[in-house]
Chain A
Amino acid sequence: MISLIAAAFDDGWAFVRQGYTVYLVRPPYKRSSLVEVSESAALRAVHAHGFTPELRDYRDWAALISFLREKIAESAAARAPRAAEIDAAARLLRRAPPDVVAGYLDRVERELLPSGEHRAAIRLLSALHGLEHVMTDPPLRARAARLLDAAAEAASASMDRRAALLDDEKDLRRKFPRAMEQWGEALPELMRSVRRRGSLLWMGE
Chain B
Amino acid sequence: MRTITFYSYKGGVGRSLAVANLARYLASFGQRVFAIDLDLEAPGLHYKLASPAEQRSIRGGVVDAICALLQLGAPLSSAEAALSAPSSLRDFVTRVEHATDSGGSIHLMPAGQAPSAAYFRKLAAVSFHDLFYAEGARGVPFFLELTERIKSEYAPDYLLIDARAGLTDLSGVATSLLPDLVICLLANNQESLEGARSALRAIRRTPRLPGRPPVDLLPVLARIPRTLDDSAEQARVESARAFLNEPAEDLADTLEIPELFVLHAEPELELAEALRVGGDIHPDDSPLLRGYLRLFMHMFSGLIEPKLASLVEGAVKGAMDDPDGAQRKLEALTAAFPHPISYRALLQFYRLRQIDTEKALRVAHRYLELSQVSPERSGPPKLS
Give residues in A with beta carbon < 8 Å to B.
18, 21, 23, 25-26, 29-36, 61, 65, 159, 162-163, 166-167, 172, 174-183, 186-187, 190-191, 193-195, 198-204
Contact = CB atoms under 8 A, between A and B. Distances in A.
Contact of B79 (A21, A166, A200, A203): A21
Given A18-B79, A31-B78, A166-B135, A172 B141 contact: yes
Given A34-B79, A34-B82, 5 more contacts: A30-B76, A31-B81, A31-B82, A175-B145, A194-B132
Contact of A201 (B142, B167, B250): B167
Interface in B208-261: 209-210, 250, 253
Given A31-B74, A61-B76, A178-B152, A200 B137 contact: no
Given A200-B173, A200-B176, A204-B205, A190 B140 contact: yes
Given A30-B75, A34-B79, A187-B141, A202 B133 contact: no
Nearest to B198: A203
A167 B136 CA distance: 7
Contacts of A33: 136
A149 B140 CA distance: 30
A32 B140 contact: no
A32 B71 contact: yes
A194 B169 CA distance: 11
B140 A199 contact: no
A194 B85 contact: no
Interface of B is mostly: helix
Contact of B172 (A25, A186, A199): A199
Nearest to A159: B135
A177 B142 CA distance: 10
Contact of A31 (B79, B203, B207): B79
A26 B79 CA distance: 14
B263 interface: no
Contacts of B145: 175-179
Nearest to A16: B79
B68 to A, nearest CB: 11
A169 B234 CA distance: 54
B138 interface: yes
Nearest to A166: B136
Given A18-B79, A175-B83, A32 B70 contact: yes
Contacts of A174: 83
A201 B73 contact: no
Given A201-B202, A202-B202, A176 B142 contact: yes
Contacts of A26: 135-136
A175 B206 contact: no
Given A31-B79, A190-B140, A200 B209 contact: no
Contact of A175 (B77, B138, B209): B138
B36 interface: no
Place the interface of chain B in its size category: 35 or more
B269 interface: no
Contacts of B141: 172, 175-176, 179-180, 187, 191
Given A61-B76, A176-B144, A195 B83 contact: no
A162 B209 CA distance: 23
Given A179-B145, A186-B210, A201 B176 contact: yes
Contacts of B134: 195
A203 B136 CA distance: 23
A36 B138 CA distance: 14
B71 A31 contact: yes
Contacts of A200: 132, 169, 172-173, 176-177, 206
B72 interface: yes
B16 interface: no
B353 interface: no
B202 to A, nearest CB: 4
A23 B132 CA distance: 21
A193 B137 CA distance: 12
Given A34-B79, A174-B83, A202-B207, A191 B140 contact: yes
A29 B209 CA distance: 31
Contacts of B210: 183, 186
Nearest to B249: A204
A201 B206 CA distance: 6
Contact of B77 (A61, A187, A195, A199): A61
Nearest to B135: A163
A175 B210 CA distance: 21
Contacts of B140: 187, 190-191, 194
A189 to B, nearest CB: 9
Contacts of B203: 201
B113 interface: no
A15 B48 CA distance: 49
Contacts of A183: 144, 209-210
Contacts of B78: 31
A163 B148 contact: no
